[in-house]
Amino acid sequence: MHSLSVRRAAVLGTVALLGFAGAAALGSTPAYAKANSQVSVVHGIPGQPVDVYVNGKKTVPDFQPGKVAGPLSLPAGEYDIALTKPGEAIGSALLKVDNAEVPGDANISLVAHLNAEGRPALTPFVNDTSRVGAGKARLIVRHAAAAPAVDIRAGGEPVFEGVTNGKEGKADVDAGTVSADVVLAGSDTRVLGPADLDLKEGTATVVYAIGSAEDKTLDIVSQTIDGLHSAPGGVPSGDGGRADGNSTLPWYGAGAVGILLALLGLTRLATGRR
Amino acid sequence: MIIRRGALSLVALGVALAVAAGIGACRSQPAADFGAPVATTPPATVKKPTIRDGALPKAGPVDAPARLRIPALDLDATVDAVGIDAKTGDFAVPPSVDRVGWYRYGPGFAADAGSIVVAGHVDSAAEGKGAFFRLGGLKAGDAVTLTGPDGRERKFEVVARERYRKTAVPLDRYFARDGAARLTLITCGGPFDAATRHYRDNVVVTAAAVEEAR
């Protein structure tokens, strides 16, 4: 009975991955062999532990909802991904995506979640792992719940508006703690939070809204990607000029006086002898 | 004879002065750079897929050093935890020249990897000589001690001193968060431009951790 949604998920997933692959190919990356991609798997389907199969091999056994597995280092290529109930045969998979294309040299989150209609889906997101400025952190919020469009607010102010299932909002902000909540788009009707987000400098914090509004299982899963820091622009640490290294001039002056004196003495010697 | 003796002493005085001046000129040159900062590349590790809880990240304890002691410079300075100057994007070195600043976004007091960065003023127009006025005079093997938030001490030993034009200083290396645990001390140096009131160079001293934090 899931066949339709599974096929749709497969098509969507493959199309999305192909899109990302195309985008990566058009980017500045050279044509020679690409580095492996880092693939994390995020479990955002409440109440359903699964076994994760990659190319028919059980890769993450008994994967619990709300957990994040990985990153797996995968060479670019096509992968068959399947989720089964723990211990069940791959033939009776809950969710299956064949020939999902993984581009090279990317950081990807593969998210098992409910789509807007409440059916299981597998959605790949490419994570922006470009460097953040010194003192900054990246906040990425992804809608992966069976729920309508939402606004994400920080400190009461909307930062991402009208985010729908399968979409994300992203911003680089000052590192530190912000209080965030999720409301139905354009309203003050809170569906999640408020929660304190500790945005660590030099990292990307990815927050997923998961579950189902109808079943009252909305929840949050988060993932942190570190190592995105930059060095400060400079280290200005003096404006007095007292430490100027150019203090050799007086010594050269004294040396010159010494040489003149010696020459004068030699001249006197020479003239005195005559 | 009198003329001859006077002339001889004049020659002697002149030569002595020239030699002394030569030595003085040589000694007043900034000392040459030495050493290389501790390796920054971590050993390759094979990552197994790990399962982590998707709970929201919590702010960890801040591992801020409290004091910096360098006996060779008679220095014992308060360390402030500082970040980035929002206006300039630069390291927010504490304005008071007696204090030095620890980069709070990077590795902390007990870090087992990466560069713990402490920067201080060489001097300031308003307050005169700074805590790091003589930083460039440190030699290989000089001891540097950090005191942690709870009074513990961690010892380091100078392994490198480098001077770079500010336009070329490899800050990514000095602010790396991986590689061997090390302490990086940064100040200004080189020729001073009186018009812009900036020094041309940064002086960077790297000290390797000699024992684990106790």
pLDDT digits (tens, 9 = 90+) for A208-245: 999 999 999 999 999 999 999 999 999 999 999 998 86
Structural domains of chain B ordered from first start: 62-214 (2.40.260.10)
Smallest Cβ–Cβ distance between A251 and the set B25, B103, B127 belongs to B25
Contact B10 A264 (CB under 8 A): yes
Residue A149 is encoded by which pair of tokens?
Answer: 């469009």
Smallest Cβ–Cβ distance between A272 and the set B4, B51, B58 belongs to B4
Report the C-alpha gap between B106 and B117 in whole angstroms.
7
Please spell the DSSP secondary structure of B152-190, one letter per residue: -EEEEEEEEEEEEETTT--HHHHT-SSSS-EEEEEEEEE
Quick one: which of B102, B99, B107 has its CA closest to B118? B102
pLDDT at B47: 45
- Per the model's pLDDT, the better-predicted residue between B35 and A51 turns out to be A51
Please spell the DSSP secondary structure of B106-131, one letter per residue: S--TT-SSSEEEEEE-SEETTTEE-T
- Per the model's pLDDT, the better-predicted residue between A262 and B96 turns out to be B96
Contact B54 A201 (CB under 8 A): no
Q: Is A274 on the interface with B (CB under 8 A)?
A: no
- Per the model's pLDDT, the better-predicted residue between B172 and A4 turns out to be B172
pLDDT at B40: 56
- Per the model's pLDDT, the better-predicted residue between A51 and B19 turns out to be A51
CA distance A264 to chain B (A): 7
pLDDT at B17: 73
CA distance A25 to chain B (A): 26
Q: Judged by CB atoms within 8 Å, which residues 99-128 of A form the interface with B?
A: none
Which amino acid, one-letter code, is at A117? E
pLDDT of A19 > 70? The answer is no
Q: Judged by CB atoms within 8 Å, which residues 57-86 of B form the interface with A?
A: 57-59, 83-84, 86
Q: Judged by CB atoms within 8 Å, which residues 141-160 of B form the interface with A?
A: none
CA distance A229 to chain B (A): 9
Is there a cis peptide before residue A71, judged by omega within 30 degrees of 0?
yes
pLDDT at B1: 58
Helix, strand, coil proportions of chain A in percent (round to 5)? 20, 45, 35
Whole-number mean pLDDT of chain B? 88
- Sorted by where each begins, the domain ranges of chain A are 1-127, 128-227
Does domain A1-127 sit in CATH 2.60.40? yes
Contact A44, A122 (CB under 8 A): no
pLDDT of A7 > 70? The answer is no
Smallest Cβ–Cβ distance between A265 and the set B8, B24, B130 belongs to B8
Contact A60 B51 (CB under 8 A): yes
- Per the model's pLDDT, the better-predicted residue between A246 and B83 turns out to be B83
CA distance B86 to chain A (A): 9
Report the C-alpha gap between A5 and A94 in whole angstroms.
11
Q: What residues have CB less than 8 Å from B42, skipping those under 6 apart? A: B113, B178, B179
Q: Is A28 on the interface with B (CB under 8 A)?
A: no
Contact B90 A67 (CB under 8 A): no
Q: What is the pLDDT of residues A250-274, one digit of tens each?
A: 667 777 777 888 888 888 888 875 5
pLDDT of A185 > 80? The answer is yes
Burial of A49 per CB tally in 10 Å (0-12, 13-18, 19+): middle
Contact B14 A264 (CB under 8 A): yes
A-chain residue closest to B20, CA distance: A255
CATH topology of domain A128-227: Immunoglobulin-like (2.60.40)
Rounded alpha-carbon distances, angstroms, from residue A52 to A76, A96, B2, B185: 19, 10, 106, 48
pLDDT at A2: 46
pLDDT at A248: 55
**Residue linked to tokens 């028919």:** A56
pLDDT at A3: 44
Quick one: which of A63, A55, A46, A41 has its CA closest to A90? A55
Report the C-alpha gap between A4 and A2 in whole angstroms.
6
* Average pLDDT for B98-115: 96
CA distance A117 to chain B (A): 24
pLDDT of A20 > 90? The answer is no
Give the SS3 label for residue A17: helix
At A36, the pLDDT band (50, 70, 90 cuts) reads: very high
| CB contacts, 8 Å: B128 with chain A | 240, 242
Report the C-alpha gap between A134 and B78 in whole angstroms.
24
pLDDT at B16: 76
The percent of residues in chain B predicted with pLDDT above 70, rounded, is: 87
Contact B186, B162 (CB under 8 A): no
Q: What is the pLDDT of residues A119-148, one digit of tens each?
A: 999 999 999 999 999 999 999 999 999 999
User: What is the biggest distance separating any 2 CA atoms in chain A, rounded to whole angstroms?
Assistant: 125
Phi, psi dihedral angles at A171 (to 5 degrees): -160, 150
Q: What is the pLDDT of residues A61-118, one digit of tens each?
A: 999 999 999 899 999 999 999 999 999 999 999 999 999 999 999 999 999 999 999 9
Helical H segments across chain A, by residue range: 3-26, 249-273
pLDDT at A211: 96
- Chain B interface disruption, residue of A237, A244, A266, most B CBs within 10 A: A237
Contact A238 B86 (CB under 8 A): no
A-chain residue closest to B185, CA distance: A235
| CB contacts, 8 Å: B194 with chain A | 241
